[in-house]
Amino acid sequence: MTLPDPAAAASTATSAAVVHALRPLVHAEAAAEATTCATGAAIEPADLEQAVWLRLLERLARGRPPADTGRWVRETVRAEARRARRTARREHPYRDAAFADPSDGPERTALDAEERRALRAAIGRLPGRCARLLAALLAPEDPTYREIAGKLGMSQGSLGPIRSRCLGCLRRMLAAEVVAPGPRGRERETTGGSGGRRHAHMGMSVIISAATAQDAEEILKLQYLCFQGEAELYGNYRIDPLVQTLDSVRAEIATQLVFVARLGDEVVGSVRGFTDEDGTGRIGRLCVHPRLRGHGLGARLLRAAESGLVDERSATRFLLCTGHRSENNLRLYQRAGYAAVGNETGRDGVRMVLLEKDATAPVYVASA
């Protein structure tokens, strides 16, 4: 191989021409040196080539081209190889290093604070005295049961059972409010009619359909959550919806008309009904998840039960009941065309208002 005269190259050719002429020699020397060092620290031939080109361009920039270009290339390749080996011996892979405990970092602190905020917000949405009781239990002063009972005006012996019921209600509420992640783990959102962004549970369609045997457990959990407010209202946590068994719910699904409202895979509403011997369609256990109330879902479930009883059970009139203090329920049924026809006391001791409507009467429902 004929090498260009360095002095002539510096004066009559550009640096690019020098690099082009020396490329085969530099490539061969770098590959040979990398192979020689294969038993030691790994050296990439391309890294050696880049280092040699850098040294050559630095010399040309200073006007000091090598006198013997071939020799200079071989010596420079070896020098850069030694430098690379020394550097490799001083480097250690990250897997061998001791990392700081991430549990003590700012990310963990921020996540813990957000979890505490979400928990307290959920407690604030609990019905009745559950919110006050759990807030007192989480107070930083760590009060005793006697102090909590005195503050809330409750008997000390009742705190344990009520606490267990409230924690069960909170657990089911938090489980129901988990939104399925969207692509890449992001929470699904949608744009509302006013242009604002809402979480997925307000944008996804709620579908009402007949319940199946697989829905029994979800229906019972929802029922327990929804009737906590009624229990608080009447001071009776033994009302029928809170003591019903899973087997009883399954039997009702098998023999009655039971409808559920689904938000994705989650059951967020339920109602059931049956027809007695005189053709009266009896509707009961209408419930809607607390976070979806006020959007007309209760009225939709009521209409579904009425339509099903007429179409499938030939009902000629509808009869339902609700507690005499349950003003929201009474307003819903009255808007739907029901009229009070009497009172009765349930097995749980709660005084109920009986409401009736002709099956042929027009339905007037605004919202629920």
Give the tens place of pLDDT for each residue, 4-34. Answer: 555 544 454 556 777 777 788 888 888 877 7
Residue 109 pLDDT level (bands cut at 50, 70, 90)? confident
DSSP code, position 205: P
**What is the distance between the alpha carbons of residues 283 and 319, in angstroms, rounded to a whole number?**
6
Output the pLDDT for position 240: 87
Q: Range with the lowest mean pLDDT among 53-62, 133-142, 165-174? A: 165-174
d(CA 41, CA 29): 18
* Strands 317-323 vs 280-288: parallel, antiparallel or unpaired: parallel
As a whole number, the mean pLDDT across the chain is: 79
Residue 164's CB: how many other CB atoms inside 10 A? Answer: 10
Structure tokens at 210: 């007949």
Rg (CA), the chain: 39
| pLDDT tens per residue across span 257-283 | 999 999 888 899 999 999 998 999 999
CA distances from 281 to 223, 287, 293, 309 (A): 21, 18, 25, 6
Identify the residue with better confidence: 150 or 188: 150
Tokens of 271: 């109602």
